[in-house]
Amino acid sequence: MLGRLFVLGVLLLPATASAHTGHGGALGFAAGFLHPLAGVDHALAALAVGFWATRFRCRIGAWVPLAFLAMLVGGFVIGLVGPYQSVFEWGVAGSAVLAGLAAAFDRRGRVAVGTALVAVFGLIHGHAHGVEMPDSAALVAYGLGLILATIMLVVVGGMIGLGLRVIRSPHVMLAERNERGR
């Protein structure tokens, strides 16, 4: 229940869909690193992916954020060479909300469905990142900053998810660990 309240509270933030504030004069790595942090929708989606991954068994759940990150890179490349489509902005905001809802309400579900869903989210977010890359930014440095910040957000989301699991039911986690040890 505590996890659901946390995720729903974050989803109700007023600026959820206000994608990107300015990055000042940041170029290259700094611009790429700040991009997912400045866009509340990108930050919430990455946090929710990490949070949701903790709902699956440890080794299997790792596929969820890996799919998100892999498709984020693919979408980034597509966004660099492809035309801007305004539908992707709606997709970014919608995926942030859907990822948050999935994290809040889906206990374990099917890992294949979760992986496919976050892969689509990663593609959409990556496309937006590629389209919105400043013309003067260094491509490799910008991309590395973007990936590093997104990985950081996914890890923080996972840490929040694990922390809430420990708070909610430490005996369940101990039982799962003992079961894996057999």
pLDDT digits (tens, 9 = 90+) for 124-181: 989 988 888 888 888 999 999 999 999 999 999 999 988 887 776 766 656 666 666 5
Please determine, for residue 85, whether its predicted confidence score (pLDDT) is greater than 80: no
Please determine, for residue 62, whether its predicted confidence score (pLDDT) is greater than 90: no
Q: Cβ of 16: how many Cβ atoms within 10 Å?
A: 17
pTM of structure: 0.75
- Name the nearest CA neighbour of 154 among 31, 11, 17, 47: 47
How confident is residue 66, by pLDDT bands cut at 50, 70 and 90? very high
How confident is residue 107, by pLDDT bands cut at 50, 70 and 90? low
Mean pLDDT of 46-67: 84
Mean pLDDT estimate for the chain = 78
Q: How high is the pLDDT of residue 69?
A: 95
- For the ranges 11-20, 28-37, 90-99, 146-155, the maximum mean pLDDT occurs at 146-155
Domain boundaries, the chain: 2-10+31-181
Lookup result for tokens 């919105």: 132
Q: How high is the pLDDT of residue 144?
A: 95
Higher confidence at residue 163 or residue 5? 163
* CA dist., res. 164 & res. 82, Å (int): 40
How confident is residue 25, by pLDDT bands cut at 50, 70 and 90? low
Mean pLDDT of 111-135: 86
Q: How high is the pLDDT of residue 177?
A: 64
Q: How high is the pLDDT of residue 168?
A: 66
Please determine, for residue 21, whether its predicted confidence score (pLDDT) is greater than 50: no
For the purposes of burial, counting CB atoms within 10 Å of the CB of 23, is it exposed (0-12), middle (13-18) or buried (19 or more)? middle
